[in-house]
Copies of this chain bind each other. A is one copy, B any other.
Amino acid sequence: MKISDRKTIRKYKATDVDKTLIHGLLGTASRAATMGNMQLYSVIETRSEEGKAALAPLHFNQPMVTGAPVVLTFVADFRRFTRWCDLSDANAGYDNLLSFLNAATDTLLFCQNFCTLAEEAGLGTCFLGTTVYNPKGVISALQLPMLTFPVATITVGWPNEDPMQPDRLDIETLIHEETYNDADDDTIRQIYAYKESLEENRNFVEINHKQNLAQVFTDCRYTRKDNEAMSKGLLEALHLQGFM
């Protein structure tokens, strides 16, 4: 699957995915840009039934977690580097928010590279954003120590479905020349008009008894209440892991 044809795959064949293949793809993915060539990431590879069962509820029991042969949790990791500094009599100062963001950035670039390579190799992937919804649970399940933090989870397997490619916004509306172009109201409405017109989305509005698609997002899918509670948990987890 090329990047232009990319789609999320949530259903996988029962066939295993060879460990050598996964590790090889991860190795090539590590060619992504990385801050000062520090490679501030780790990957936890979950293949056991017990491991997947422990992760599943933390991802709201989305069936991909137990249904995929391999679950990869991508972890921002300043611990390995800091331990090397400690062993070298060097005063490491990476227990702060900037360092978290630097490590998370390294990790996400590496993660996206892995996804591209996995899809090129014929594998299907699903990106679970839920990793940062309940980081304390993931930290506990994967025994993540200080100065590490889970930022993304990818389920991987051989595709057992071929869904339609989803819509995307017109790229021209996302590109700004020289400075940010704050669109007028009509343009904003126009940007999302196609999305609102889709049968599938009109159906979401109806079954949720909402007036429009935006309300499905704000009232059902990603609510203020949930976001604020999860932001609090995220901050607590950043403290817990030594990044604040």
Write the residues of chain A forming the contact surface with B, with a CB cutoff of 8 angstroms: 3-6, 8, 23, 26-33, 35-39, 41-48, 51, 75, 77, 79-81, 83-85, 87-94, 96-99, 101-102, 104-105, 108-109, 111-113, 115-117, 125-127, 129, 132-133, 142-145, 148, 151-152, 165-169, 171-172, 174-180, 182-183, 185, 188-189, 191-192, 195, 211-215, 217-219, 221-225, 227-228, 230-231, 234-235
Contacts and interface: CB of A to CB of B under 8 A. Distances in A.
B227 A132 contact: no
Total identical chains: 2
A178 B88 CA distance: 29
Contacts of A230: 98
Contact of A91 (B87, B152, B219): B219
Contacts of A23: 171-172, 175
B143 A87 contact: no
Contact of A85 (B6, B151, B214, B225): B214
A227 B171 contact: no
B178 A46 contact: yes
Contact of A88 (B33, B180, B212): B212
A187 B176 CA distance: 47
- Which 9 pairs, one residue from A and one from B, show the smallest C-beta to C-beta distance? A93-B224, A88-B214, A33-B127, A27-B171, A112-B112, A90-B214, A108-B108, A96-B231, A90-B218
B83 A117 contact: no
